[in-house]
Structure 1
């Protein structure tokens, strides 16, 4: 019997993993995102799909640990000073958005005939945006560290903190037994006091106990003990808050903030990260399982109406707040769509409201279905928004277009390479003209006193306007190899006698640049990597003279192999002959000549699939 039960448990684990592994790649391929994939996979295998699971709530309770660990990692990134720097966004923007949206959604309930307590609880639950969904979307789009991403995170933090007063309000709104009103009120005040005391206790423990605790464990040199301790801190903090009637996620977040300046911060993040990713995916799968299709079918008109009404009204409230606080239309619209759904903390609020008698079990199931459907619709809404919203064009304010430039040297591309390459020219007093097509980079360069003009070096008319015909040399410093080759080809055909020097990405691009006729090319990190290797040899005790000779030998062999590739010899065979000493060493290619021939078929094959040096 025990073996049979274990076998069933293993089947369920395999089904959960299969749902995520199969559904997520399919949904991402369709452009719908990983979150919708998890939700769809959970709905398919849940009680109202194929029926592999009958108790989705049990899995949801376990999967909530994914959200807990997610917030712990967010806390690790939020040092107290950084958190203090976001205080205006958290307590200004956050309170304004939560307050306005709560009022608007409460009005929706009142307008449709529900009592004020029920309307408030339903609306306040929907105001609590899904931290897991928004953070996942920000992470996938790379906006976590951007100003607009930081504003969303600040609002999420305020909403996580808001669960404390909301739970207290739910307790105060509960109908009281007239015979025990005084006792019940006293009990509620005691609960509030316990919650505040728990937060204070966690802060004190984190401030004075956690660092010495991890220092003792680190001295034991047992990696698995450190991993267990990281999990203990996260889960222990969450449990302490839960036993106090507060949010588990808030406890984990506070623990993360308290450890954010610890010397063990990066170790803790590395230990918790694998569990966070798996459990967060499991959370979304469990949310998909929890969608009770029988409740949706029985109340479909009510569910559809409130999903639409709540999402639209909340989005309007978010947009209005964003515009009042000077966000532009695009950012306000994006924030409104991303944060228009309800969240996982609504499940906690609705459960508490059911326990104290504000709403009944059927209302709880209906409200939960409304929240889940709104979570499902969010990735679809984001996809629609991105499809219909044109790509944001950077402002050209203060940017001058290249026209009639007369510099002795024309630099095309002013990234990290072009900035360094132009410095000796500027110090020598040489008149340098610089063009680039990255508006943000041009604006950043202007703040440091560099005059960079807007222009695309792959267009012949721009090269004319930028003064290529009047320059004494052209430096191609763009970061994309194919772009560099295209510019070099244009220069060879239009200005065949003008010296052209080019930055190359790797060996393959170098071969193409030489064939395009550049006078000099250098792989962008080749020489710096050789210098790095030489310094390493010296640190290991090799004499400086011997280290320099070894590096020169590496450079000589590389030049020899490079020449053989230009001649169409297989690079692997050339390298083998060099190592055996069977290949004559040619003159180093410090100034590659302009070959008057096209690459033959063998060399073309080398460019397609020969070695790519780890430059």
Structure 2
């Protein structure tokens, strides 16, 4: 069949994702390492070499690594997009010192050191320049994935590393322009860079305007009309459209995806987007890491192991030293500087892109490009170990220097989560706010969410019956859960989801009638308010007073009736008659 090779390769990848990655996680190792090693083992330079001798190996190896490259690039795009969601324009502006200060210092100093070493080894100045710039860059995909796995992406260390990586991504376009200029042997380099800068500025402006004026209405329409499926379609359109816009302007695809994430992070749909895209991002990134592993030839490394391993080791140590010194010069503490330096020491995926373009253009000889990319691949393979060692040494140097995490849910503690923010939820939220109680509301009505956000209510769009949504709302640190959802089935599902994550947390729920109240109690609610009963009791107070009963007596009678309905507050409501 025509599709057999592609389907077989896809099955091999799923085996790696479903077996190798969980095994490494169980061993407390990074899933990145699992995918990298799987790529080395199952790629054309691993077991793929033995297919002719043992044909059965074709069923457990990747037959066409290049066929997976578009999907692997998509994984990097979604990683940058998710990172953009975690930030905001105000936070990004706060990082400007590290982006254009620390980032520029690290890249330029690393390039100078690597270039000097390359010239000393006999490379021509042009070749040395390209190799130096390629190896000065680090891996955004690997570093950020490791930070996310360790829940460090939003710490001070994570933000600092990301700021440097963002500057490196911005440098990819000028480096590729430089490669083209060196291939031509002449021309106006400043003019080419100027055109790229102008084109990039126009693309970024278009993305920003479209995001500000079109993105939120599009999401509101999709949420109202088609729910999660339509929202996912709009998200994919925004990510791919922004990436194409920046790529057309001569910038990287990843920058467009990052900008799209920044814009969507300002909307009320941020949490739902993160939840829906997380599985796709993880699988596509795994495919990317496998393609990196496939590019490493173990036999070539063995044939010239002193040169390749020595170069890889020197590259890691040199970049770590430069990144550490740069971070210290820009005011970071010793422990944080060491953590960031350990993350930035290995080479990155753009080394393959730059060296590949240079080899095609004739600036770097193919043999030299193969050696350098092998060394770069080795450093990427060692990245999880280097980061772990750096973190350990930093912890010994200055324990507890990670800083405070960002984010509404992460910053909140002892707050009240209100699931369902209709009329009842809003009245309750206003009363709690007047008493200075912190709340986080969740609702599935996009118009209602947008209106409440304009009033400053901390609310986001999402299904409170999903564990992922509750996690975004800070379920682990919430003091109280209130369920005011008016759909009985949904309300019961929300209570079950909360109780599954927090065994002893207090849950108060709103019930439509007695049967609904019993179902909520069975699902795990601690206290249930009978909506119909409360309306009847309030009406009864007025009727009794109209019949001449004293107000105090009427209220006392209603209190007894309420106790009969709800029972002893210390008793389980499910025991009521």
TM-score normalized by the length of structure 2? 0.67
User: Partner of 1:407 in structure 2?
Assistant: none
Residue in structure 2 matching 1:537, options 511, 530, 543:
530
Please tell me whether residue 272 in structure 1 is matched to residue 277 in structure 2. yes
Within the alignment, does 1:356 sit opposite 2:377 as a pair?
A: no
- Listed one character per residue, the Cα deviations across residues 516-540 of structure 1 (whole Å, up to 9, x for unaligned) are xxxxxxx974598999854643598
Please give the alpha-carbon distance, in whole angstroms, between the structure 1 residues aligned to 2:146 and 2:562. 49
In 2, Cα distance between equivalents of 1:132 and 1:547: 59
* 2:21–2:34 CA contact under 8 A, matched in 1: yes
Name the CA distance, whole Å, in 2 between partners of 1:557 and 1:254.
Answer: 52
What is the match of residue 225 of structure 1? 230
Is structure 2 residue 571 aligned with structure 1 residue 556? yes
1:95 to 91, 104, 110: 104
Of the three residues 53, 59, 70, the one matched with 1:61 is 70
Structure 1 residues 83 and 296: alpha-carbon distance in aligned structure 2, compared to 1, 3 A threshold: same
Aligned to 1:111: 120
Q: Does 1:154 align with 2:151?
A: no
Matching of residues 26-425 of structure 1 within 5 Å: 26-51=23-48, 52-176=61-185, 181=186, 193-385=198-390, 391=396, 393=399
Change in 2 beyond 3 A, CA 1:416/1:78: closer
Q: Deviations over 1:28-75 (max 9, x none)?
A: 333332111111112121112222223323313321211100111111
SS of structure 1 residue aligned to 2:318: helix
Partner secondary structure for residue 261 of structure 1 = coil
Q: Structure 1 residues 367, 58: closer, same or farther in 2, change over 3 A? A: farther
Gap change, CA 1:549 and 1:150, over 3 Å in 2: farther
1:18 counterpart = 2:11: no
Residues 526 and 269 from structure 1, CA distance in 2 versus in 1: closer, same or farther, beyond 3 angstroms? Answer: closer
Correspondences of 1:491-506 after superposition (within 5 Å) = none
- Whether the aligned pair in 1 keeps the contact of 2:506 and 2:525 (CA below 8 Å) is no
Q: Is the 8 A contact 2:74 2:284 kept in 1?
A: yes
Distance 1:182 1:124 in 2: 20
Distance 1:101 1:21 in 2: 38
Cα displacement (A) at 1:215: 3.8
Q: CA deviation at 1:182?
A: 5.2
**Which 5+ residue runs of structure 2 have no aligned equivalent?**
49-60, 402-412, 416-476, 478-502, 510-520, 539-558
1:271-325 Cα shifts (integer Å, max 9, x gaps): 3222111111111122112213344344333311221111111011011112222
**Matched residue count:** 432
Structure 1 counterpart SS, 2:47: coil
Output the CA distance in 1 between the equivalents of 2:269 and 2:508.
33
Distance in 2 between the 1:184 and 1:107 partners?
22
Are the counterparts in 1 of residues 40 and 297 from structure 2 also a CA contact under 8 Å? Answer: no
Structure 1: how far apart are the matches of 2:67 and 2:329?
43
Asked whether the equivalents of residues 323 and 341 of structure 2 are also in contact (C-alpha less than 8 Å), the reply is yes
Distance of aligned partners of 1:184 and 1:110 in 2 relative to their CA distance in 1, 3 Å threshold: closer
Say if 1:175 and 1:358, in contact at 8 Å, map to a contact too: no
Q: Secondary structure, in 3 states, of the residue corresponding to 1:242? A: helix
Is this contact kept in 2: 1:56–1:289, CA < 8 A? yes
Say which is worse superposed, 293-302 or 376-385, in terms of deviation: 293-302
**Are 2:211 and 2:263, in contact at CA under 8 Å, matched by a contact in 1?**
yes
In structure 1, list runs of 5 or more residues that go unmatched: 396-414, 418-478, 480-522, 559-574, 582-615
1:6 to 3, 7, 15: 3
Q: Quick one: distance in 2 between partners of 1:320 and 1:355?
A: 36
- For the 8 Å contact 2:9–2:63, the answer to whether it is kept is no
Shift of 1:358: 1.4
Instruction: Map residues 425-436 of structure 1 onto 2, 5 A cutoff.
Output: none
Give yes or no for contact 1:168–1:192 (8 Å, CA) kept in 2. no
Distance 2:572 2:200 in 1: 70
- The answer to whether the 8 A contact 1:534-1:551 is kept is no
Q: Secondary structure at the match of 2:3?
A: helix
CA contact (8 A) 2:85 2:265 kept: yes
Q: Which moved more, 1:73-82 or 1:530-539?
A: 530-539
TM-superposed CA distance for 1:256, in Å, is 1.4
Residue by residue over 1:420-452, the C-alpha shift from the partner in whole angstroms, topping out at 9 and shown as x without a partner, is xxxxxxxxxxxxxxxxxxxxxxxxxxxxxxxxx
> Aligned-pair RMSD on alpha carbons?
3.4
Cα distance in 2, alignment partners of residues 170 and 182 from structure 1: 12
2:135–2:351 contact (8 Å) kept in structure 1: yes
Could you tell which deviates more after superposition, 143-152 or 526-535?
526-535
